[in-house]
């Protein structure tokens, strides 16, 4: 990550997603000494020490000299965390807390920070994540580039210019890994029901999922074209797809993502209401 050693980064919270980003930063050449993590759990602090980064149990100490603050705590504890931070309007703040809008975060902080909201997903833990980003209006191009470099260490990033689209990002990629795991579970069980042992069915399913994803990523063809290429008229794949279409699986997938997006919006409204009443 070019020139990023001039920046110091503070993580508030040292859980799995923070560790994924820290690992990505370190792998891109960021000096461990330029990263500080505030984490109340002793065992997590001890683990973070093994990465070479600085650790503390004080949010104030962590952010005191940081250029960038990454908020990596659960939404439920965010009000307490933010109200203890003081005036941080001169810092770039990146929030990876689900459901907390920039308006809500600004209200909790009491100032208008340079704020970027991020929605990563769990494959970020192996640097294969997909992260949606939204920047508040007062975030500069330089800040956006820095946020993109930091989140980009855990996988691909994609900006949305309308914050309401973060609910769609949550539905598609934030929750998305679970949908694929769900399909994998079903395929493994189906293979077992057809006579394969669990080990063989699992290996065939997971490698097929990996290969299909790699083909979709690297091919110039769209997924529907790739599907057509596998589907011979009157063949085995056609029989399976006909069964899926008869059950309107595609329509159910759309409804499932709509439900996820609606729940994302509902949670955001709940957090906003709580922040306003606290």
Output the domain CATH number for residue 218. 1.10.3730.10
CA distance 275 to 151: 26
Residues 68 and 159 in one domain: yes
Residue 170's contacts (CB-CB under 8 Å, 6 or more residues apart) are: 98, 119, 132, 260, 261, 264
This prediction's pTM: 0.89
User: Is it the case that residue 220 has pLDDT exceeding 50?
Assistant: yes
Q: For the chain, what is the domain count?
A: 2
Strand, helix or coil at 157? strand
CATH number at residue 18: 3.40.50.720
Residues 137 and 184 in one domain: no
What sign for the dihedral angle of Cα 210, 211, 212, 217? positive
Q: Which domain holds residue 202?
A: 176-247
- DSSP bridge partners of 55: 37
Residues 182 and 62 in one domain: no
CA-based nearest residue to 269, from 103, 133, 115, 116:
103
Give the number of other CB atoms < 10 A from CB of residue 121. 23
Place of tokens 């902080």: 109
Q: Please give the mean pLDDT across all residues of the chain.
A: 92
Dihedral over alpha carbons 201, 207, 208, 213 (to 10 degrees): 150
Residues 22 and 137 in one domain: yes
Considering the domain boundaries, does residue 146 fall inside one? yes
Residues 42 and 132 in one domain: yes
Q: Which of 166, 187, 219 is the last residue of a domain?
A: 166
Residues 140 and 98 in one domain: yes
Give the number of other CB atoms < 10 A from CB of residue 65. 10
Please give the pLDDT value at position 275: 67
Are the CB atoms for 36 and 55 separated by under 8 Å?
Answer: yes
- DSSP bridge partners of 133: 118, 159
Considering the domain boundaries, does residue 276 fall inside one? no
Considering the domain boundaries, does residue 133 fall inside one? yes
Dihedral over alpha carbons 212, 128, 151, 110 (to 10 degrees): 90
CA distance 121 to 110: 29
Residues 58 and 23 in one domain: yes
Q: What is the mean pLDDT of residues 56-61?
A: 93
Residues 92 and 183 in one domain: no
**In terms of residues, how long is the chain?**
278
Q: How far is CA 212 from the centre of its chain?
A: 22
Are the CB atoms for 180 and 206 separated by under 8 Å?
Answer: no
Q: What is the mean pLDDT of residues 232-247?
A: 97
Q: What is the mean pLDDT of residues 171-182?
A: 97
Reported as type and span, the H/E element at residue 133 is strand 129-135
Residues 79 and 158 in one domain: yes
Considering the domain boundaries, does residue 267 fall inside one? no
Residues 108 and 190 in one domain: no
CA-based nearest residue to 39, from 25, 51, 24, 26:
51
User: Is it the case that residue 39 has pLDDT exceeding 50?
Assistant: yes
Considering the domain boundaries, does residue 92 fall inside one? yes
Are the CB atoms for 148 and 117 separated by under 8 Å?
Answer: no
Phi, psi (degrees; rounded to nearest 5) at 70? -105, 115
Strand, helix or coil at 124? helix
Considering the domain boundaries, does residue 49 fall inside one? yes
Please give the pLDDT value at position 99: 85
Please give the pLDDT value at position 277: 67
Q: Which of 121, 144, 166 is the last residue of a domain?
A: 166
Residues 201 and 103 in one domain: no
Helices (H), the chain: 16-27, 42-49, 59-63, 78-83, 102-109, 141-152, 166-169, 176-193, 198-218, 223-230, 236-246, 249-277
Give me the percent of the chain exceeding a pLDDT of 90. Answer: 79
DSSP letter at 224 equals: H
Higher pLDDT, 75 or 199: 199
Residues 114 and 243 in one domain: no
């Amino acid at each position: 990550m070019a020139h990023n050693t001039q920046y110091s980064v503070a993580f508030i919270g040292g859980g799995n997603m923070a560790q994924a980003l820290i690992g990505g930063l370190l792998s891109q050449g960021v000096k461990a000494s330029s990263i500080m993590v505030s984490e109340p759990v002793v065992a997590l602090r001890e683990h973070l020490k093994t990465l070479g980064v600085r650790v503390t149990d004080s949010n104030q100490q962590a952010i005191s000299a940081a250029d960038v603050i990454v908020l990596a705590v659960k939404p439920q504890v965010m009000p307490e965390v933010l109200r203890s931070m003081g005036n941080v309007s001169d810092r770039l703040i990146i929030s990876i807390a689900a459901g907390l809008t920039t308006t809500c975060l600004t209200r909790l902080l009491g100032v208008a920070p340079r704020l970027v909201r991020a929605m990563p997903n769990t494959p970020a833990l192996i640097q294969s994540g997909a992260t949606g980003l939204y920047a508040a209006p007062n975030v500069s191009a330089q800040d956006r580039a820095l946020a993109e470099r930091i989140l980009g260490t855990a996988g691909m990033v994609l900006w949305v210019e309308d914050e309401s689209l973060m609910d769609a990002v949550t539905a598609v990629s934030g929750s998305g890994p679970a949908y694929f795991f769900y399909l994998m579970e079903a395929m493994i069980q189906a293979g077992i029901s057809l006579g394969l042992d669990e080990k063989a069915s699992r290996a065939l399913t997971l490698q097929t999922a990996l290969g299909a994803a790699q083909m979709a990523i690297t091919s110039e063809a769209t997924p529907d074209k790739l599907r057509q290429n596998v589907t011979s008229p009157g063949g085995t794949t056609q029989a399976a797809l006909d069964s899926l279409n008869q059950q309107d699986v595609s329509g159910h997938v759309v409804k499932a993502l709509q439900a996820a997006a609606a729940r994302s919006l509902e949670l955001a409204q709940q957090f906003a209401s709580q922040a306003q009443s606290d």
